[in-house]
Amino acid sequence: MKLLAIESVRKVYRSTARSAEVVALDGVSLMIERGECFGLVGESGSGKSTLSRLILNLEAPSSGRIAYDGRDLTSLGQEEMRRLRARMQIVFQDPYASLNPRMTVHDLVAEPLAIHPEAGYRDRGRRTVRVGELLGTVGLKPEHMWRYPHEFSGGQRQRVCIARALALNPEFLILDEPTSALDVSVQAQILNMLLELQTRLGLTYLFISHDLGVVRYVAHRVALIHNGRIVEEGPVGQVFSAPKSDYARTLISASPELALQALLAP
């Protein structure tokens, strides 16, 4: 069953200074099935982040349609959208930049619960209990609750970001380069945790990354985006072993991760 349907989406930014147009997305269509991990690969400026902003309805497409669970995002009122947003969450690349340094881990993770009173955590005591649970879910300890972000390593901070994203029991997570800022050994821990959470909580992922090795490991299907267009899409094994487009071939031959895998192959 499909959770997210993106149909011929186009996004144009107009620069007022020079009346120049920047076409960030040019006729993008994608379907994301419930329960899958969909990989999105593209270089800087390809339109990946614009796409995730449109999915979260932080911006509206210039044309085209994005439907989440069968409902057109552009047709939703503000209140409906606020409720829907609780079901979709995002984890960003840089855990140093995405946590307010002046808030404790408790407050950071409890914030979504406070913003969405309908989730049933109006009471501060109940929120604290929930924060404790969430920290356990992401492999942190309850006593970490009263510390500040600077007291944690990059991997632990990313765990806090994930706990915060999971606070409202979402069904869909956009993971925007979630491990790109982390060391290899920490990346492995976070990737495994994300996969385990996906199975346990029945989550759907949109996994954005430039690391083809990571995408091949986590994603079921993958789309390559280049200059605002989807240039190739398909099951991850197929795209990587038999790429059809020139861009996919270029990307695969340039990838250090795949070069390393080739070197290690028996």
Q: Does position 249 bind another protein by CB under 8 A?
A: no
Instruction: Report the nearest approach of another protein to the CB of residue 199 (Å).
Output: 8
CA dihedral 111, 51, 6, 161 (to 10 degrees): -30
CA distances (Å), origin 140, targets 40, 62, 85 = 29, 42, 25
- How near is the Cβ of 202 to another protein at its closest, in Å? 15
Residue 248 binding another protein, by CB under 8 A: no
- Residues 12-51 interacting with another protein (rule: CB under 8 A): 43-44
Applying CB under 8 A, does 265 fall inside the site for another protein?
yes
CB of 205 to another protein, least distance (A): 11
How many chain residues bind another protein (CB under 8 A)? 37
Give least dist CB 159 to another protein, A. 13
Per-position DSSP letters for 177-194, written without gaps between them = STTTTS-HHHHHHHHHHH
How many CB atoms neighbour CB 265 within 10 A?
6
- To the nearest whole angstrom, how small is the minimum distance from the Cβ of residue 261 to another protein? 5
Q: Binding another protein by CB under 8 A: which of 216, 232, 233, 248?
A: 216
- Residue 252 CB, shortest distance to another protein, in Å, is 10
- Interface residue with another protein, options 214, 230, 239, 248 (CB under 8 A): 214
96-155 positions binding another protein, by CB under 8 A:
153-154
Distance separating alpha carbons of residues 103 and 159, to the nearest angstrom: 16
The angle that helices 184-201 and 154-166 make with each other, rounded to 10 degrees, is 20
Half-sphere exposure of 179 (CA within 13 A, CB side): 20
Q: Which two tokens stand for residue 23?
A: 């076409």
Residue 127 or 144 having the CB closest to another protein? 144
Helices (H), 117-228: 124-137, 154-166, 184-201, 212-218
Sites of contact with another protein (CB under 8 A)? 43-44, 153-154, 183-189, 191-192, 195-196, 210, 212-214, 216-218, 250-251, 253-265
